[in-house]
Amino acid sequence: MPRKTNASADPPTPVTGGVELDRKRAPTQTRALETCERILDAAANLLGEVGIERLSTNLICERAGLSPPALYRYYPNKYAVLAELGVRLMMSQNDLLEKWASPATMKLPAARFEERLRQLFLETLAITRKAIAGEWITRALRAVPSLAPVRIESHDHVTGLVVAAFAVAWPAVPQARVRLVSRLAIEVMYSAQELLVDDAALDAEEVATVMSNMVTTQVAQLRRETGSSQPLIKDA
């Protein structure tokens, strides 16, 4: 799961293609925390105004009212700033999924499972749209290669939650199959959200309905692989 902000220790710095994504140091004092928040707020607002390519550390500093050395004290480049914005957005999205991914959910009849998934998708979309530049952050996580670890780590984390919940509800299904279907379901869910970000003409309710039906169909097949006498059957 993307790391939570830790003010007490400096986490290791991952490097992807030579691009550092973590803070250079963790702020430990109130003033330092406020500086980082100013940087992140400025970057988020600018991202919605100028886009990914035109965003720069100089623009961020100008908007935040800071000198470049003040920014570079904490962030090595604009991608590290974008990575933290991505972590924060995906953590808020994942909070919803963590509550949803329970054995009880995995045992729901088809119609109820499908509706719960549909609601989860729409609530996740609402969080994205409510966040400052949430749709642009979503674009950046997909479009910028150096930010891929943020997205992949988050998807791996929530996939693990779904797999664990499904395993409790349906222990006879092979774990490899559960993980494959779960990972694909997570990718489909987020891809559907990205589709709505890229194409404003699409209806979110309709996309949610189609996506949840597709995933439920695969869950139905997965449950039948147990040979259980209680397969997933479409409610009347």
pLDDT at 225: 86
Q: For 193-203, what is the mean pLDDT?
A: 94
Does 14 have pLDDT greater than 70?
A: no
Kindly give, in sequence order, each residue whose CB lies less than 8 Å from that of residue 169, ignoring residues fewer than 6 positions away: 103, 104, 106, 107
Kindly give, in sequence order, each residue whose CB lies less than 8 Å from that of residue 231, ignoring residues fewer than 6 positions away: 220, 223, 224
Let me know the angle formed at the C-alpha of 95 by 171 and 114, rounded to the nearest 5 degrees.
55
Burial status of residue 171 (CB atoms within 10 A of its CB: 0-12, 13-18, 19 or more): exposed
Kindly give, in sequence order, each residue whose CB lies less than 8 Å from that of residue 199, ignoring residues fewer than 6 positions away: none
Q: Which residue pairs from 67-74 have beta carbons closer than 8 angstroms and sit at least 24 positions apart in sequence?
A: 70/35, 71/39, 72/24, 73/24, 73/25, 74/23, 74/24, 74/25, 74/27, 74/32, 74/35, 74/36, 74/39
Q: For 172-193, what is the mean pLDDT?
A: 95
Minimum mean pLDDT range among 28-42, 125-139, 172-186, 190-204: 28-42
Confidence band of 5 (pLDDT split at 50, 70, 90): very low
First to last CA, the chain: 38
Highest mean pLDDT among 30-39, 86-95, 220-229: 86-95
For the chain, domains (ranges, CATH) are 24-76 (1.10.10.60), 83-224 (1.10.357.10)
Q: Which residue has the higher pLDDT, 19 or 78?
A: 78
pLDDT at 33: 86
pLDDT at 227: 46
Contact indicator for 202, 150 with CB cutoff of 8 Å: no
pLDDT at 228: 46
CA distances to 23, 46, 86, 91 from 64, rounded to whole Å, are: 17, 10, 19, 24
Does 104 have pLDDT greater than 80?
A: yes
In the block, residue with structure tokens 């908007």: 63
Which amino acid is residue 125, in one-letter code? L
C-alpha–C-alpha distance, residues 75 and 228, integer Å = 53
Q: Using DSSP, state whether 228 is helix, strand or coil.
A: coil
Mean pLDDT for the chain?
87
C-alpha–C-alpha distance, residues 193 and 188, integer Å = 9
pLDDT at 8: 33
Q: For 190-197, what is the mean pLDDT?
A: 94
Highest mean pLDDT among 46-55, 140-149, 201-210: 201-210
In the block, residue with structure tokens 């995906």: 90
pLDDT at 11: 35
Does 26 have pLDDT greater than 80?
A: no
Q: For 204-225, what is the mean pLDDT?
A: 95
Minimum mean pLDDT range among 18-22, 180-184, 187-191: 18-22
Q: For 13-37, what is the mean pLDDT?
A: 68
C-alpha–C-alpha distance, residues 85 and 34, integer Å = 15
